[in-house]
């Protein structure tokens, strides 16, 4: 079957890495254009060397591109504010938007958790890097235990936090917190991001804390391990740092007040510790936070392209 034509808006680190991931191994997608606003950007220069058509005039230039009518999927790797404008500009076109910003215009999508539910949506939001890394674990725990509260801490290298990431810190925490609840299946979620200035740069580390009712700990552990394998299928550098941890909450525990309106009962804190190493396609391997976003977006694109080809 012919490949589905896609365009990528954003010629920075994320857009360029996504382009290379598609070029290196996608059997369903063809990059019809890489779109940017800086003609001197490394991403556009690299695309030109690789034979990918470049559009240095932003989304308006994409609309005028001779192959735009054949494009069925557009990945937006810009910023939350830019995506709002891009979404409006592309609203009349027959295509699906995959949003790699925290704009959250469309439904939150985490591939191993809820992609099947949203394949027909016009705009799919990829949450955040922290969300892609941790929400699968939250969903796994909540599938095996009644989960009242989930808190995630995403620690990334300062070097892997570019201008777009830094400009969207507030959106990161808000979007991730909402997605923890809506996709992870918990009553209340909280997200924290840490920009680690350590040298040499450290790879992405994530911690997941969930407050659950008394549960079958073997079932929770099995659900976490099974979910980790699903994520690792498209992010090979995704791994648990240690065994799943369980700790009973007592009256003096700092977590004792996290579920203030629920009746007192036997509760536990479930902790999962993760790290994400990048594939090193375009970005350094320590930038696992960016790699998991582009890997998840490619996974969504593959499924969408398969659906387009089947029509």
Cβ atoms of residues 133 and 290 within 8 Å: no
Task: Please state, in angstroms and rounded to a whole number, the distance separating the CA atoms of residues 282 and 288.
Answer: 12
Q: Is position 51 annotated in a ligand binding site?
A: no
Q: Is position 162 annotated in a ligand binding site?
A: yes
**DSSP run (H or E) holding 182:** helix 169-182
Q: Which two tokens stand for residue 17?
A: 């890495």
**Exactly one of 54, 104, 110, 129 is catalytic; which is it?**
129
Q: Is position 13 annotated in a ligand binding site?
A: yes
Q: Is position 11 annotated in a ligand binding site?
A: yes
Q: Is position 160 annotated in a ligand binding site?
A: yes
Q: Is position 161 annotated in a ligand binding site?
A: yes
210 assigned to active site? no
Query: ∠167-232-161 over CA atoms, to 5°?
Result: 15
Q: Is position 166 annotated in a ligand binding site?
A: yes
Tell me phi and psi for residue 153, to 5 degrees. -125, 115
Residues 6+ apart with CB under 8 A from 229: none
Q: Is position 165 annotated in a ligand binding site?
A: yes
Task: Please state, in angstroms and rounded to a whole number, the distance separating the CA atoms of residues 205 and 131.
Answer: 12
Task: Please state, in angstroms and rounded to a whole number, the distance separating the CA atoms of residues 196 and 191.
Answer: 16
Task: Please state, in angstroms and rounded to a whole number, the distance separating the CA atoms of residues 308 and 140.
Answer: 30
Q: Is position 112 annotated in a ligand binding site?
A: no
Q: Is position 61 annotated in a ligand binding site?
A: no
Residue numbering of the annotated binding site for NAD(+): 11-14, 160-168, 289
Task: List residues with catalytic annotation.
Answer: 129
Please enumerate, by residue number, every residue annotated as part of a binding site.
Answer: 11-14, 160-168, 289
């Amino acid at each position: 079957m012919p490949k589905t034509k896609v365009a990528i808006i954003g010629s920075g680190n994320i857009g360029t890495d996504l382009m290379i991931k598609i070029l290196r191994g996608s059997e369903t997608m063809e990059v019809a254009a890489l779109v940017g606003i800086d003609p001197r950007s490394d991403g556009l220069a690299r695309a030109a060397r690789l034979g990918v058509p470049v559009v240095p005039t932003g989304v308006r230039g994409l609309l005028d591109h001779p192959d735009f009518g054949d494009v069925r999927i557009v990945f937006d790797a810009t910023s939350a504010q830019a995506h709002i404008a891009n979404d409006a500009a592309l609203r009349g076109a027959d295509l699906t938007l995959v949003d790699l910003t925290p704009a959250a215009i469309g439904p939150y999508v985490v591939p191993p958790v809820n992609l099947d539910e949203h394949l027909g949506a016009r705009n799919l939001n990829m949450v955040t890097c922290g969300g892609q890394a941790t929400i699968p674990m939250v969903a796994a725990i909540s599938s095996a235990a009644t989960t009242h509260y989930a808190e995630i801490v995403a620690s990334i290298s300062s070097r892997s936090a570019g201008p777009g990431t830094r400009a969207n810190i507030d959106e990161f925490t808000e979007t991730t917190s909402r997605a923890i609840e809506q996709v992870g299946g918990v009553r209340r979620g909280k997200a924290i991001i840490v920009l680690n200035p350590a040298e040499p740069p450290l790879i992405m580390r994530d911690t997941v804390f969930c407050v659950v009712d008394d549960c079958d700990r073997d079932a929770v552990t099995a659900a976490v391990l099974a979910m980790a394998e699903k994520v690792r299928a498209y992010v090979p550098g995704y791994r648990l740092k240690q065994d799943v941890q369980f700790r009973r909450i007592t009256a003096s525990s700092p977590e004792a007040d996290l579920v203030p309106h629920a009746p007192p009962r036997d509760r536990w804190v479930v902790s999962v510790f993760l790290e994400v190493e990048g594939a090193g396609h375009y970005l350094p391997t320590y930038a696992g936070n960016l790699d998991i976003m582009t890997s998840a977006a490619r996974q969504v694109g593959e499924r969408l392209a398969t659906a387009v080809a089947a029509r």
